[in-house]
């Protein structure tokens, strides 16, 4: 290692004196302290949010879970705070309860499929063919209903589906009144009117969650790089094959992400089925009723774990099936 080279003298005179060392003010000293002690800085930043999140949010979730392991004493009607599986047993043991779960899951599945079928062409068009202004317009057009007021949208469907409303009017004008009556007479989906039938509930759910399915699907489709499609065509695949073998698998994570929303949102919703649909209960309605008028918080808590467990299982299954591989 050679010693430093011969020092060069500056050809211009040196500038003003270096580092006029005024002692650093308190703010600077604090800044330096936090800079040096990164963990302390992080703790300071995270303490208030965690104080909020921890006890308030996480705590109440935990409390709810704990509640589901308590039970309600049949005679006194009050909650017995001893751990027991009694409540869960009541949940799965009662045919009525299982009915509710089945009804909700069936609805969620139907809604998910419908949303996927409707959303995919829309997302596909927006991702593949819409450019510049059109694409931005599309995005805005899908986003605005997403953020529009939930209750207003449900109310709008009440208007739509009312017996004297626009849907009936449309069917009558097209001379399809009989067809509509036939549908309403059908066993599972029908009812006294559209707004008091499972079909009505299904329509409202599909409408409400459609943007939740369109946006992730579109995002996933947009992420498919054009060179992949060109390579597929170059290797001899016709458009249909390219679609089935390249585009669809790559778009799957988006569809799955959307389906998690539609599934989860339908499983837990208690407002829509009570405003549009048959008297039959859904899981969310059970939760609402049990913790309210029925005073059976443990049962409500037990019911509320069902959507969470189902969605978690769904996600695990999707991962296993490789639907999320392209992520």
- Asked if 18 is part of the footprint of other proteins (rule: CB under 8 A), the reply reads yes
| Closest approach of other proteins to the CB of residue 269, in Å | 7
Among 120, 205, 209, 281, binds other proteins (CB under 8 A): 120
The string of DSSP codes covering 206-244 is: HHHHHHHHHHHHHHHHHTS-HHHHHHHHHTT--HHHHII
20-59: contacts with other proteins (CB under 8 A): 24, 27-28, 30-32, 34-36, 38-39, 42, 45-46, 48-49, 52-53, 56-59
Asked if 277 and 201 touch (Cβ cutoff 8 Å), the reply is yes
Among 80, 85, 106, 143, binds other proteins (CB under 8 A): 143
201-260: contacts with other proteins (CB under 8 A): 207, 210-212, 214-216, 219, 226, 229-230, 233, 238-240, 243, 248
Asked if 303 and 290 touch (Cβ cutoff 8 Å), the reply is yes
Q: How many CB atoms lie within 10 A of CB 98?
A: 12
Asked if 87 and 298 touch (Cβ cutoff 8 Å), the reply is yes
| Closest approach of other proteins to the CB of residue 187, in Å | 27
List the structure tokens of 278.
């048959």
Among 160, 199, 224, 318, binds other proteins (CB under 8 A): 160
- Asked if 75 is part of the footprint of other proteins (rule: CB under 8 A), the reply reads no
Kindly indicate which of the ranges 86-94, 117-125, 176-184, 316-324 contains the residues binding other proteins, using the contact rule CB under 8 A: 117-125
Nearer to other proteins, 27 or 187 (CB): 27
- Asked if 6 is part of the footprint of other proteins (rule: CB under 8 A), the reply reads yes
The phi and psi torsions of 80 (rounded to 5 degrees) equal: -95, 120
Could you give the C-alpha distances from 205 to 72, 109, 202, 272, 278, in angstroms and in order?
33, 11, 5, 8, 14
| Closest approach of other proteins to the CB of residue 72, in Å | 13
Helix axes 95-128, 86-93, angle to 10 degrees: 80
| Closest approach of other proteins to the CB of residue 92, in Å | 19
Kindly indicate which of the ranges 18-26, 84-92, 95-103, 185-193 contains the residues binding other proteins, using the contact rule CB under 8 A: 18-26
Among 90, 110, 146, 326, binds other proteins (CB under 8 A): 146
Encoded one letter per residue, x for contact with other proteins by CB under 8 A and - for no contact, window 270-309 reads xx---x--------x--xx--x-----x--xx--x--xx-
251-270: contacts with other proteins (CB under 8 A): 261, 264-265, 267-270
Among 40, 73, 85, 144, binds other proteins (CB under 8 A): 144
- Asked if 179 is part of the footprint of other proteins (rule: CB under 8 A), the reply reads no
Among 88, 153, 249, 294, binds other proteins (CB under 8 A): 153
Question: What residues contact residue 271 under an 8 Å CB cut-off, 6+ apart?
Answer: 150, 151, 154, 284
List the structure tokens of 223.
């992420």
How far apart (Å, rounded) are the C-alpha atoms in residues 89 and 159? 41
Looking up tokens 């209960």 gives 281
How far apart (Å, rounded) are the C-alpha atoms in residues 294 and 131? 55
């Amino acid at each position: 290692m050679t010693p430093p080279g011969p020092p060069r003298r500056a050809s211009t005179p040196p500038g003003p004196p270096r580092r006029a060392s005024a002692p650093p003010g308190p703010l600077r000293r604090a800044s330096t302290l936090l800079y040096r002690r990164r963990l302390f800085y992080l703790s300071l930043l995270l303490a208030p949010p965690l104080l909020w999140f921890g006890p308030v949010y996480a705590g109440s979730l935990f409390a709810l879970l704990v509640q589901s392991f308590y039970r309600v004493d049949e005679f006194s009607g009050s909650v017995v705070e001893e751990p027991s599986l009694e409540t869960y047993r009541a949940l799965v043991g009662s045919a009525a309860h299982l009915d509710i779960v089945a009804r909700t899951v069936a609805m969620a599945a139907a809604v998910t499929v419908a949303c996927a079928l409707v959303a995919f062409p829309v997302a596909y068009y927006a991702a593949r063919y819409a450019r510049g202004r059109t694409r931005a317009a599309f995005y805005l057009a899908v986003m605005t209903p997403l953020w529009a007021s939930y209750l207003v949208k449900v109310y709008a469907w009440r208007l739509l589906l009312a017996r004297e409303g626009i849907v009936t009017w449309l069917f009558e004008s097209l001379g399809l009144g009989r067809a509509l009556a036939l549908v309403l007479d059908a066993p599972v989906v029908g009812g006294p009117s559209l707004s008091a039938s499972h079909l009505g509930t299904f329509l409202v759910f599909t409408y409400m969650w459609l943007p939740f399915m369109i946006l992730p699907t579109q995002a996933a489709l947009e992420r498919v790089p054009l060179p992949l499609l060109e390579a597929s065509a170059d290797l001899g695949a016709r458009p249909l094959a390219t679609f089935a073998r390249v585009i669809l698998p790559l778009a799957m994570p988006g569809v799955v992400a959307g389906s998690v929303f539609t599934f989860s949102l339908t499983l837990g919703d208690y407002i829509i089925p009570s405003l549009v649909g048959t008297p039959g209960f859904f899981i969310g309605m059970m939760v609402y009723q049990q913790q309210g008028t029925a005073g059976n918080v443990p049962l409500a808590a037990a019911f509320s774990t069902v959507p969470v467990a189902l969605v978690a299982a769904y996600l695990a299954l999707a991962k296993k099936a490789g639907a999320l591989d392209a992520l």
